[in-house]
Amino acid sequence: SIPLGFFGGIGAASRAGILVKGSNYLEALNDVQYVVFDKTGTLTKGAFAVTGIYPEGQRSKEELLRNAAYAELHSNHPIAESVRAAYGKPIDESRLEDYNEISGHGVEVRFDGQSVLAGNARLMEREGLTFAAPPEAGTIIHMAIGGSYAGYLVISDEVKDDAAEAIRQLKQLGIKRTVMLTGDARAVAESVGRQLGVDEVHAELLPQHKVEQLERLEQQKSAKEKTIFVGDGINDTPVLARADVGIAMGGLGSDAAIEAADIVIMTDEPSKIATAIHIAKQTRRIVW
């Protein structure tokens, strides 16, 4: 029979906006020692503001932004939504063809018959395109139009209001280590990690590298110690599935993330991880 306390625990969690898919996950939270976070949309708001537009050559800023907005039309990455919002004009889909999203890199389309790429330095390098390193701090979206380097946009994200508190509470609960994994640039990642007091930061990771980082951690710990991965599901569903307890941000996150996760945080607040562990501990006290 299932102890009543578990229903109490799941109910208490649900009233706090934490959806637990089974009592075994609530129980597993008692043994968590490592909490691994994705950055964008999980510890940060994932709502980027475009803070700079730097076309190369004769193109106007408006033209570079238009190309970026069209390129990002079909992507559900937080970066894409921010670029479309910054452009803010109606989009004529008939001008677009051949949309292709390259995970951990960016997007590739044909717009008005020309090839347009929007993504990170790795995407440009893949195409053999060279460019001067931008002096700006922030996440950079490099652009290529018609096979030539066309300039870049600078976008900046903010940490969530409760992110520092989330890390502090986990330490207070006795968690051994907090880790942040991200596909974003090292400078951005390290700055966020420092602001929040995260123990370990790994940047410029491709989605498959995030799984490898989790596996590395699993080898270092004892069998009883459990790991949580918290993500928004954009590119990280394999990691959500691989962790002992996969936790998805339910508001921002994709349907695939909600599907792959064991626990869903409906309010998107990272501080709810500590709340969930706290409820798990109280539930265990009542049950045993």
Residues that bind Mg ion (CB under 5 A): 38, 40, 234
CB of 188: closest distance to ligand ADP in angstroms?
Answer: 8
Question: Quick one: which of 105, 160, 202, 226 contacts ligand ADP (CB under 6 A)?
Answer: 105
99-126 CB burial, b ≥16 within 10 A, e <16: bebeebbbbbbbbeeebbbbbbbebbee
- Classify residue 192 by burial, with Cβ atoms within 10 Å: 0-12, 13-18, 19+: buried
CA 35, 41, 44, 45 torsion: positive or negative?
negative
Question: Quick one: which of 79, 116, 245, 260 contacts ligand ADP (CB under 6 A)?
Answer: 79
Question: Quick one: which of 67, 120, 271, 275 contacts ligand ADP (CB under 6 A)?
Answer: 120
**Residue 237 is a binding residue for ligand ADP (CB under 6 A):** no
> Helix, strand, or coil here: 271?
coil
Residues 144 to 163: which contact ligand ADP by CB under 6 A? none
**Residue 119 is a binding residue for ligand ADP (CB under 6 A):** yes
Near ligand ADP by CB under 6 A, which window of 36-44, 215-223, 251-259, 268-276?
Answer: 36-44
162 noted as active-site residue: no
The answer to whether residues 137 and 191 touch, using CB atoms and an 8 Å cutoff, is yes
CB of 172: closest distance to ligand ADP in angstroms?
Answer: 26
Angle at 47 between CA 200 and CA 253, to 5 degrees: 75
Cα–Cα dist 54/155, whole Å: 12
Which residues, listed in sequence order, are joined to residue 115 by a DSSP beta bridge? 110
Cα–Cα dist 3/247, whole Å: 24
CB of 89: closest distance to ligand ADP in angstroms?
Answer: 19
Alpha-carbon dihedral 207, 213, 219, 224, rounded to 10 degrees? -80
Select 76 or 114, whichever has its Cβ closest to Mg ion: 76
Question: Quick one: which of 28, 29, 35, 107 contacts ligand ADP (CB under 6 A)?
Answer: 107
**Cα distances (Å, whole numbers) of residue 244 to 28, 225, 226, 240, 284:** 8, 9, 6, 9, 18
Distance between the two ends of the chain, CA-based, in angstroms?
14
Pick one of ligand ADP, Mg ion, none as the site partner of residue 23 (Cβ within 5 to 8 A by kind). Answer: none
Q: Catalytic: which of 31, 38, 98, 161?
A: 38
CB of 10: closest distance to ligand ADP in angstroms?
Answer: 29
Select 22 or 125, whichever has its Cβ closest to ligand ADP: 125
CB of 108: closest distance to Mg ion in angstroms?
Answer: 19
**Contact flags string 195-224 toward ligand ADP, x per CB under 6 A:** ------------x-----------------
Q: So which residues are the catalytic ones? A: 38
Instruction: List interacting residues with ligand ADP (CB under 6 A).
Output: 38-40, 72, 75, 77, 79-80, 104-107, 118-120, 139, 141, 182-184, 207, 234-235
